[in-house]
Amino acid sequence: MIHPIEYRYGTPEMKAVWTEENKLMKFLEVETALARAEAEAGIVPKKAAEVIARNVGRVKLERVKEIEKKTQHDVMAVVLALSENCGEHGEWVHFGATSYDIVDTALALQIKDAINILEGKLKNLRKALVSQAERHKKTVCIARTHGQIAIPTTYGMRFALWAEEIDRHIDRLNELKPRILAGKMSGAVGTQASFGKKGLEIEKKVMKNLGLDVARITNQVVQRDRHAEFIFSLANLATTLDKICIEIRILQRSEIGELEESFAKGQVGSSTMPHKRNPVKSEQVCGLARSIRALVEPALMNNTLWDERDLTNSSCERIIFPEATVLTDHILSLTTNIIENLRFYPKNIQRNLELLKGLNMSEAVMIKLAARIGRQTAHELMRKASMEAFERDIHLRDVLMEKKEVAEHFTEKELNALINPENYTGTAIEKVEMVIDRLKNKR
């Protein structure tokens, strides 16, 4: 074993989509659909189509590989392996088709299976995020902008934000299905000359039988803008997972410590530092997301084939489709596990809310004060008061109570209420509840 996908990353269900055995099965499924469509169109004898369909199960991968060693052509090896199991009717196997009629249509079937797996995993992650949003819709915490403490938010807001983003990824997968789940039966350069006048009829019947859309016009291949869109969609999804896990890594930093990944009994964080509790799952998601994004460029370049086609996409696609789908599926499953098993530390959440001694509540005071003395005046007063509190290392409230412009408008009790983070979350709860209501029972 060489590639980590073989032994370290990926789920059995997604790996199964890209095995040699499954690829062969899809090739044979397309050949069967072709023979049946041609029989219905009166091009191939019905008996031949029946024999071909009956004997596809007798084609073995070992025999295909044996033939390929001689022919140096993977599709022709499949054709010959099937033909030799069909006797005299084997002459009708692959009639009128070119290799990429089979390859591209079979690829669409594999991608269809991959999308179905990803869609189910995305729904699981959406459910996990909605569950955490509901659980923590009132958990007030500090927000950060530019890496600096800002004003309060809630953990419910964070999870709801991510849930909506995952929901958009589900929409994107559904939106690209008509473009990527399309096959062809158009012959050597797309003209269907080998099928005569029955070309359009045959192509339509084959795709209907396989549950695919028809790529309306092609040359020898289905154009790779479709496939590039699919790979980009996976890279986009991977980037969302990257973003989520970066935030978890930040919040797990020792000096923040508001939450952490689950840490199993007996788990080792470091070979030399026994105390370490590292966010290794999140780090794995972030690392593999880089590999997935790196597959966008080759996917785009695969659309720049010479004339009616060349073979530069073929070797590349043997790598990028399994890698992109297996790794995306892997980090999707991993992120769901992370979200479902997060551990929160309320004391640290509260500590960080109070870390700046009220400075993070300067906007709340400024907004109320602006109604009394004007917005710009209030902003400048609060700016100076905040800088003074910072320099003196005292609570903002204490500085403000020394300012007559503040003291004449607010009592200490009123000022304490303004500086309380629990009182300054705006419509956060309502926003989160709107998301929960929309997504909780969505299928």
Q: What is the pLDDT of residues 186-244, one digit of tens each?
A: 999 999 999 999 999 999 999 999 999 999 999 999 999 999 999 999 999 999 999 99
Assigned token pair, 34? 């072709």
39, 123: one domain: yes
Choosing from 146, 254, 271, 315, the catalytic residue is 146
Q: Is the pLDDT of residue 55 over 80?
A: yes
Asked, for residue 271, whether it belongs to a domain, the answer is no
Choosing from 89, 262, 270, 333, the catalytic residue is 270
326, 402: one domain: no
Q: What is the pLDDT of residues 142-165, one digit of tens each?
A: 999 999 999 999 999 999 999 999
What is the domain range of residue 402? 356-410
312, 328: one domain: yes
Q: Which of these three, 332, 349, 366, is where a domain ends?
A: 349
9, 77: one domain: yes
Asked, for residue 50, whether it belongs to a domain, the answer is yes
Q: What is the pLDDT of residues 66-101, one digit of tens each?
A: 999 999 999 999 999 999 999 999 999 999 999 999
252, 361: one domain: no
Asked, for residue 388, whether it belongs to a domain, the answer is yes
pLDDT given at position 263: 74
The average confidence (pLDDT) of the chain is 95
296, 368: one domain: no
Asked, for residue 230, whether it belongs to a domain, the answer is yes
Are 18 and 322 within 8 A, CB to CB? yes
pLDDT given at position 312: 93
Are 162 and 240 within 8 A, CB to CB? yes
Asked, for residue 47, whether it belongs to a domain, the answer is yes
Range 11-24 average pLDDT:
97
335, 380: one domain: no
Name residues whose C-beta falls within 8 Å of residue 60's C-beta, 6 or more positions apart in sequence: 81
pLDDT given at position 405: 85
56, 140: one domain: yes
Given pLDDT bands bounded at 50, 70 and 90, which one contains residue 63?
very high
Assigned token pair, 174? 């559904």
227, 320: one domain: yes
Coil, helix or strand for 148?
strand
Asked, for residue 267, whether it belongs to a domain, the answer is no
Range 348-377 average pLDDT:
93
Asked, for residue 270, whether it belongs to a domain, the answer is no
What single letter denotes the amino acid at residue 234?
A: L
Range 276-295 average pLDDT:
94
Asked, for residue 128, whether it belongs to a domain, the answer is yes
394, 324: one domain: no
Range 135-140 average pLDDT:
97
| CATH number of the domain residue 67 falls in | 1.20.200.10
3 noted as active-site residue = no
0.85 cut: is pTM over it?
A: yes
% residues pLDDT > 90 (the chain) = 91
Distance CA 391, CA 383 (A): 12
294, 389: one domain: no
Burial status of residue 196 (CB atoms within 10 A of its CB: 0-12, 13-18, 19 or more): exposed
Q: Say how many domains are in the chain.
A: 2
233, 366: one domain: no
262 noted as active-site residue = no
Assigned token pair, 401? 């109570």
What single letter denotes the amino acid at residue 326?
A: V
